[in-house]
Amino acid sequence: MPVRLINSLATTEALANAFSDQQVLQAMLDFEAALARAEARQGVIPQEAADAISKAAVAEGFDTGVLPQEAFRAGTPAIPVVQALTKRVRANDPQAARFVHWGATSQDVTDTALVLLLRRARAIIASDHARLIEALRKLASQHENTVMLGRTLLQPAPPITFGLKAAGWLAAIRRGWSRIDTRFAEAEVLQFGGASGTLAALRDKGDAVGKNLAAELGLKYPDAPWHTQRDSLAALLAACSVECGSLGKMARDVALLMQGEVNEAAEPGGDGRGGSSTMPHKHNPIACSLTLASAHRVPGLLASFLSAMVQEHERGAGGWQAEWPIVTSIIQALGVAVASMAEAAEGLTVDASRMRANLEATRGSVFAERVMMLLGATLGRDVAHKLLEQAALRSSQQDRKLMDILAEMPEVTRIIPRGTLETLDSPQGYLGLASVFQKRLVTPPEK
């Protein structure tokens, strides 16, 4: 299914197809067919009826143009779908038509269909996530010793390595996916409770039918129906939202590194990607922009879902009906962010020489902390801090190296020889545990 133009920045083609009308309809029909087979196995309905229902439960041929209109009037997509399925079964087997949707309720259909759709989406996003993790692992390893400026509050700070930065992205995104994967598994649960969540219509066969139905669909069977208990879905969406935040952090970093004044890294370009409609010279951070757009949208969507959790008694009025657009929007936003950053990471250009040049452009001022710590052991940290503050200001005003300024200050050279000062603006000598931390972050945690 082609992506609708209005959603062109909000989903991927694969996820648009996963949540297309055809796929949503088929997921509901899969529930109805599996229900019929499970009930026939328990002797609740005739096997002939189950066969007829299963044969008719194929989305092809259903009028997906009219179903949304009817769903709007019914307050649920399940009612017109069940009616259309019943009509199709009746055309070939009037007796079997009596047993369509036997003992189930509308929310059983829609919730289970949503779970089935989420399972398909999970596989799509997992594939892109694997690409992203591998690309970040390579970046972190390849650039273990690529020195660059650290930046705090967007200002130059002591040096780090690009390998450490990439490893930080990797570890956060990997942790996020671990949470998501767990929450997906927890959410892959059948919904089947009948009118009030007791399966009373199926008498003593309700539990057996439910277990068979779950097995038919490859879902877990819950201790009880979860009609108005939406915590598992909420936990999944919260995990997705956290992951969008981590992906947004990576996107923000890359976009800032792509600024012309910085120019230390760049997304892949070409093939219509990253250009401007008016400025031919532009190479815009498109993957980052799409990811940041997702990160901006998702918190509000999550808040809407959390608000909708407060549902009345055994079936919600409004909260449940709010969920489908919220859930699918969050999942698709996550999918866009993962796919976009996978593409960015796989083709990221890293300019090590520019990173070195930007570091050297600080005239050594980012090593003020290093000198301060050496002086502080003798003078005290507060006195040393004030001396370095004055020296850094003179370095900036006179456009001279900080170490040259310090070499002219007797209170400094009395403690640190000039020869030693000349070595203190070497970035390799002030990376601390960057390599140790980078290796720890790159190494997957033990299961």
**What is the spatial distance between Cα 334 and Cα 338, in angstroms, rounded to a whole number?**
6
Whether the Cβ atoms of residue 248 and residue 291 lie closer than 8 Å to each other: yes
Map the chain to HEC letters: CCCCHHHCCCCCHHHHHHCCHHHHHHHHHHHHHHHHHHHHHCCCCCHHHHHHHHHHCCCCCCCCCCHHHHHHHHCCCHHHHHHHHHHHHHHHCHHHHCCCCCCCCHHHHHHHHHHHHHHHHHHHHHHHHHHHHHHHHHHHHHCCCCEEEEEECCEEEEEEEHHHHHHHHHHHHHHHHHHHHHHHHHHCECCCCCCCCCCHHHHHHHHHHHHHHHHHHCCECCCCCCCCCCHHHHHHHHHHHHHHHHHHHHHHHHHHHCCCCCCCEECCCECCECCCCCCCCCCCCHHHHHHHHHHHHHHHHHHHHHHHCCCCCCCCCCHHHHHHHHHHHHHHHHHHHHHHHHHHHHCCEECHHHHHHHHHCCCCHHHHHHHHHHHHHHHCHHHHHHHHHHHHHHHHHHCCCHHHHHHCCHHHHCCCCHHHHCCCCCHHHHCCCHHHHHHHHHCCCCC
Residues in the chain: 447
Q: Return the pLDDT at 279.
A: 47
Q: Which residue, among 247, 241, 240, has the nearest Cα to 337 in the 3D structure? A: 247
CB atoms within 10 A of CB 327: 22
pLDDT level of residue 202 (50, 70, 90 thresholds): very high
Q: Is the pLDDT of residue 264 over 50?
A: yes
Res. 271: pLDDT tops 90 = no
* Predicted pLDDT at 1: 58
Confidence of residue 272 (pLDDT cuts 50, 70, 90): low
- Could you tell me the pLDDT band of residue 276, with boundaries at 50, 70 and 90? very low
Percent of the chain with pLDDT over 90: 93
What is the set of domains in the chain, with CATH numbers? 1-104+191-223 (1.10.275.10), 119-189+226-351 (1.20.200.10), 356-442 (1.10.40.30)
Q: Judge contact between 35 and 104, C-beta under 8 A.
A: yes
pLDDT at res. 235: 98
- Given a cut of 80, whether residue 280 has pLDDT beyond it is no
pLDDT in tens, 137-188: 999 999 999 999 999 999 999 999 999 999 999 999 999 999 999 999 999 9
Q: What is the pLDDT of residue 275?
A: 52
Give the model confidence (pLDDT) of 54-74 as tens digits: 999 999 999 999 999 999 999
Looking at residue 277, its pLDDT comes to 46
- Is 90 exceeded by the pLDDT of residue 405? yes
Q: Is 313 left (phi over 0), alpha (psi -120 to 50) or beta?
A: left
Given a contact cutoff of 8 angstroms between Cβ atoms, the answer to whether 252 and 81 are in contact is: no
**Average pLDDT of the segment spanning 258-262:** 95
pLDDT at residue 110 in the model: 98
The per-residue pLDDT for range 297-321, each reduced to its tens digit, is 999 999 999 999 999 999 999 999 9
Percent above pLDDT 70 for the chain:
96
Q: Would you say 180 and 10 are in contact if contact means Cβ atoms under 8 Å apart?
A: no
Residue 243 pLDDT > 90, yes or no? yes
pLDDT of residue 48: 98
Residue 85's closest CA among 23, 47, 33?
Answer: 33
Q: Give pLDDT, residue 94.
A: 97
Helices 106-142 and 78-92, interaxial angle, to 10°?
A: 110
pLDDT of amino acid 444:
82
pTM confidence score: 0.94
- Per-residue buried b or exposed e for 97-124, using 16+ beta carbons within 10 Å of the residue's own CB: bebbbbbbbbbbbbbbbbbbbbbebbeb
Query: Average pLDDT over the chain, rounded to whole?
Result: 95
User: Is pLDDT above 80 for 104?
Assistant: yes
User: Residues with catalytic annotation?
Assistant: 276, 315
- Is the Cα dihedral 177, 179, 185, 187 positive or negative? negative
